[in-house]
Structure 1
Amino acid sequence: MDDAAPSDAEKVPVTIITGFLGAGKTTLVNHILKGDHGMIIAVIENEFGAVSIDDALVGENMKEKEDVITMDNGCVCCTVRGDLVRALLTLKDRPKKFDHIIIETTGLADPAPVAFTFFINPEIADAFRIDSILCLADAKHIALHLEEEKADGAVNEAVSQVAFADRILLNKIDLVSAEQLQDVVDTIHSINAVADVIQTTNSVVDLTRILGVSSFSIEKTLEVDPEFLDEEDSLKAVEGVSAGNETAKKKIKKKRHDLTGVSSVGILAEGELDFTAVNTFMMKLLQVIVFRVEQSVPVS
């Protein structure tokens, strides 16, 4: 007789943190790591670029540096999905047992394929469960990202991140007026009417509202908005839907995650840099379309 499948209580809960570039994801991760919760937490960091900065920022708040795993060769929802599986299996096989795992995706990630990794791979499904998909939304800029036009059939990552979340942290509310804030809340509710929207500043939130909440439901998500699945996942995801949920299966549509025209550039320099020269370079750089700039620069 086959062994019974592990119960959810036996699986390590995983929080998937999504949100467009600059929304405050890394700040939230550091807030969680510094929290007085007594949990042993591992972090999986996904960097779109080859030069990773966020893992160093997160590592400063980790008790053990090896509890941070960085994937820096592409978007976790497409090119490095295999790396995500390997990272999770690495954590599973460690002697240390973790109470919780946090996955911080790149700001360009579509969360749907990431979530289905936990249903497609039996080894992952037996060891881990998704506790929550948490989306960080920048109150000042999220409307622009949500309205961005994409090529036919392509995913708008910001829309996907909001639609697929069961918790939405509406961050940086101090940067908008009360009227603007209400407009943003209304826009978010028009995309996702069931997610709990939590208003925050500097990503500070009561951790009991985002950890150990067991708020993710794959069936509810597919029924609410099943469009954010690419062709590969549309075929495989059906296996993760219960036999009786035929409506959700029929609703699955195919979307492609199109990052055409998006690239990253990393610059490594030894020693101190001239502040004036760096400032001039950055001003010229910002004259073109730039999604995100991160830097750690010693200057003279």
Structure 2
Amino acid sequence: MSLNGAGRPNSKRATWVAYYRLTRKHNFPTGLDVVFWPCTWGLIMSAYALRLSPRSLAIQLAAYFVGATLRHSAACIWNDMCDIEIDRKVASLGGAAILLAAHFIACLVILSYAGDAAFKWGLFCLCFLDPLYPLMKRWTDWPQLWLGFAMTWGLPVSWVSNFGEMNWYIVPVLLGGGVCWTIHYDTIYACQDRRDDIKAGVRSTAVLFGDWTRLILACFSACFVICLALAGGINHQGPLFFITVAGTAFHLAWQLIVVDLDDSSDCHRIFKVSSVSCWRSEPES
């Protein structure tokens, strides 16, 4: 981005481009997809249990897609603001806070249509899980664990939006699986910067796991697959669901076999295809 002597964009166009890039929408759908997929688990599995019409499900999926897009952008803006001492480009964007507030308000508006119970579940994530995540890499070696709850929280929200109440048998199992999946893909993502993070004192599971990363991620991936199968059994899903779960298992295994955890570009490549694992686990409605 071209800057003038005062450190500000030298044109209105450059300013708008900078704002746009701050929201990460130019990377669509990377990042957004892993926020959206857990929402679809709750929507599709609850629709299957309630026998909702395809039209009703399609409308809900579209609404959650918009909400996930806004939430992902808000989280990216907030993350950059928290990392201002590392990423100085945020300091040149005086409107970052206004942009964040606009996205947050839009998220609340969309969430308000999900019902009172779902609104409360969603508000917990927007006001607690999401804001604290950027700080976790300073406080703990397990920021990916916290991120797992944040990224998968669309699942309980979407489930409650259909049922009006929580299912304490299915949703916690799927939530746990989503957390394991997040640790899988975000640890691979974090391996891109592992050497720099060690020097900078940034904490992550990629740094924590070290040479054991591949083996430990295999365990988390197995837990993800087991949780999917268990939740499907509790929800009385049909054979197609379990076929897709098997596809998920093979895809996760392929990722761990082929990824070069010491090659930043390869880690990024595998991260970008990680959402395919989640797509393969989509149940029939």
TM-score (norm 1): 0.28
TM-score (norm 2): 0.29
**Structure (1/2) with the larger strand percentage:** 1
